[in-house]
Chain A
Amino acid sequence: MINLLSAGFSRLFRNMAFRIGTGIMMFLPVMAVLLNNADKTNPREPLDGVYNAGVCVVWLIIASFVSIFVGQDYNEKTMHNRLIAGHSRVSIYLADLIVTLTGAVIMQAAAIIAGSAVAIPLFGMYTEPVSTVIVTQLLIVCGMAVYTALVLFICTVVTTKSYAQGISMVVVLAMFIAGNSVYDNVQKLREKAAQENIPVTQLIPENSVKDTMYYALPTSQADVILRGGLPEKAGKMIAFDLASAALLTAAGMLVFRRKDIK
């Protein structure tokens, strides 16, 4: 496993999709800071959470990066070298998951560093509590784990790189649309409950499909994160993310163990 990770990380830092993805993730918070800076009507308060600006497109970046990174191994048949070298299929799958997830985490870390490097000198130090930052980042990493596990699963089922990339894009786009519409819908119902002075649970029963999707979909979680502050029921969201990632990984490994590699 360590050998596979060593080879995987060495490849990660040379991978063009990873470099471009990191670049985009760094560009978005910097852009958000500069736009705030250009807007003279804005009060010059610390831009809490601006470094999370990339979260709105991270699903797209991960879908693209993971499918290219893993797809390359099938396309160029370098998967053969790992199997012939005597590594177990479970080790290969887990190594791919760890390497690509680390890649995604590095992208988010790069976004934090780039955003902060521009935001702090211009707007001052962030004011949000460290606990909020930690919980938010943990939630982001868990959401990334879901995307990574999902795309890795797709790449295992569909081994042609271009198809895997296309299908991954379509699936995460569908998740994005579903997450956004659930988030918007829940917000409207919450506003309505506030206006009518009735408990929210009367309009959105706990553990209903809508309620579950709101907390379970990483895309609706991203909307919650971008709203700022400490995400409500962050523990529930993290639990959903971990369960989804574990389920997708188990399913992927099951497929990969019996898969005929060409």
Chain B
Amino acid sequence: MEFVLRTNDLVKKYRGFTALNGLTMNIPKGSIYGFVGRNGAGKTTLIRLITGLQLPTSGSFEIYGVKNTDKAINDSRKRMGAVVETPAVYQDLTAKENLKMQYRVLGLPDFKGIDELLELVGLSDTGRKKVKNFSLGMKQRLGIAVALCGSPDFIVLDEPVNGLDPQGIIDIRELILKLNHEKNITILISSHILEELSKLATHYGFIDGGKMIREMSAEELEKACCKSVRMTVTDTGVLSRVLDEMGVDYKILDSSTADVFAKLNFTQTALKLSEQGCDVITMEEKDESLESFYISLVGGGEK
């Protein structure tokens, strides 16, 4: 497997505080890597190190196989874009002017591609509107557009949906999927919103206390998490009989509700229940399992 980023025993200490405590992680090429951890776990610190904003206290990392101590690391960084915490944009410039500025910083020969970038992030109609008058979602999308200048093949997004409204979250999610699927860009997303990450990530890294607790693919996570379907029916007695026949694990919660721990064929199940005089009122896939898995990894409560 080819890796875009590999870190080896990374340590970052601030005065009397260890933010990263020997972190080792591997981001496969072409993946959407969900970097999960509670606030203060060390997610942003790692991003600051790999983007060159800060220097590690010890340990090392490689971007496209180039070690951080190597002079060529600056060339490797040219292949990546990042939005660290908040979008890095000039508030008194327009969206187009901001992209032109980044084109100049990158030394690109002309401004070709700026309109396409604005189109891609849905900001092509902002005209002369200055960034300071943008909504948070628009700023976030502009930040991503700035990160996309120079056609990088690795993008780092630090908490990209923080503070966004539901529509803004959907927009960013669709944009991330588009970048990954259509442009084959490897994406590292840090977040503590597990539900959101589960809709995107192909790989996960769980971090706590500055250490990598576990790395796994989405398939591995799905297997590890026991996904459940909450069913509300008119008769849980009939439901338990049908589920027993199907050889499926379940838990009856009350006279009308049960959690089923398997992927069900909804139509077949509803038909079988109906044949025995039991109606299905609701069926809802539950996502808490990812949270439960995360809690089981890092332990509950505040640290």
A90 nearest CB across to chain B (Å): 11
Q: A77-B84, A85-B105, A87-B105 are in contact. Are A261 and B92 (CB under 8 A)?
A: no
Please give, as numbers and ranges, the residues of chain B lying within 8 Å of A76 by CB-CB distance: 88-91
Among A6, A76, A79: residue with most chain B CB under 10 A: A76
B137 on the A face (CB < 8 A): no
Query: Chain A's nearest CB lies how many Å from the CB of B148?
Result: 12
Check if A3 sits within 8 Å of B84, measured CB to CB: no
Contact partner of B52 among A2, A78, A84, A262, CB < 8 A?
Answer: A84
B135 at the A interface (CB under 8 A): no
Min Cβ gap A55→B in Å is: 29
- Interface secondary structure of A, over-half rule: helix
Q: A3-B105, A81-B146, A85-B77 are in contact. Are A260 and B88 (CB under 8 A)?
A: no
Residue in A closest to B52 when the chains form the complex, CB atoms: A83
Known A72-B90, A85-B77, A86-B77; contact A77-B51, beta-carbon cutoff 8 A = no
Within 8 A of A (CB), among B129-168: 146-147, 150
> What is the distance, in angstroms, from B26's C-beta to the closest C-beta of chain A?
21
Contacts of B90 in A (CB 8 A): 11, 72, 76, 78
Chain A residues whose CB sits within 8 angstroms of the CB of B88 once the complex forms? 76-81
A81 to B144, CA, bound (A): 11
Known: A81-B88, A258-B55. A3 touches B82 (CB 8 A): no
Q: Inside 8 A of A106's CB, which chain B residues have their CB?
A: none
Chain B nearest Cβ from A63, distance in angstroms? 21
Q: B48 near A14 (CB under 8 angstroms)?
A: no
Interface string of B88-116 (1 = CB under 8 A from A): 11111100010011101111000000000
User: Is A16 close to B, CB under 8 A?
Assistant: yes
Q: Does A207 touch B at the CB level, under 8 Å?
A: no
Known: A3-B107, A4-B105. A80 touches B82 (CB 8 A): yes
Q: A84 to B93, Cβ gap below 8 A?
A: no
Say whether B106 contacts A3, CB under 8 Å.
yes
> Which residues from chain A contact B100 at a C-beta distance below 8 Å?
10
- The CA of A85 and the CA of B78, in the complex, are separated in Å by 5
Task: Give chain B residues whose Cβ lies under 8 Å from the Cβ of A10.
Answer: 100-101, 104
Enumerate chain A residues within 8 angstroms of B105, measured Cβ to Cβ. 3-4, 7, 81-82, 85, 87
Complex contact A83–B91 (CB within 8 A): no
Q: Is A201 an interface residue (CB 8 A)?
A: no
For the complex, what is the distance from the CA of A7 to the CA of B84, rounded to whole Å?
21
Q: Is the CB of A6 within 8 A of B52?
A: no
* B41 lies within 8 A of chain A by Cβ: no
Distance of A73 from chain B, by nearest CB (Å): 9
Instruction: Across the interface, name the chain B residue whose C-beta is closest to A3.
Output: B107
Q: Does any Cβ of B come within 8 Å of A88's Cβ?
A: yes
Chain A residues contacting B147 (CB-CB under 8 Å) are 84
B51 touches A80 (CB 8 A): yes
B81's partner among A6, A7, A16, A84 (CB-CB below 8 A) is A84
Q: Which residue of B lies closest to A82 (CB)?
A: B105
Q: Which residues of A are found within 8 Å of B76, using beta-carbon distances? A: 86
* Closest B residue by C-beta to A91: B74
Q: How far is the CA of A153 from the CA of B2 in the complex (A)?
A: 43
Taking the complex as formed, is B53 at the interface, i.e. its CB lies under 8 A from any CB of chain A?
yes
Task: Looking at the assembled complex, report how far the CB atom of A3 sits from the nearest CB atom of chain B, in whole angstroms.
Answer: 4
Bound form: Cα–Cα A164–B89 in Å: 20
Distance between A12 CB and nearest chain B CB, rounded to angstroms: 12
Measured in the bound complex, the distance between the Cα atoms of B77 and A16 in whole Å is: 32
Distance in angstroms from A6 CB to nearest chain B CB is 5
Contact yes or no, A86 B84, CB < 8 A: no
What A residues does B39 contact at CB under 8 A? none
Among A16, A72, A78, A82: residue with most chain B CB under 10 A: A78
Residues of B near A88 (CB, < 8 A) are: 74
Give, as a whole number of angstroms, the nearest-CB distance from B50 to chain A.
10
The B209-263 residues at the A interface (CB cut-off 8 A) are none
* Contact surface of B with A, Cβ cutoff 8 Å: 14, 48, 51-55, 74-78, 80-82, 84-93, 97, 100-102, 104-107, 146-147, 150
3 nearest A-B residue pairs (beta carbon):
A3-B107, A86-B74, A7-B104
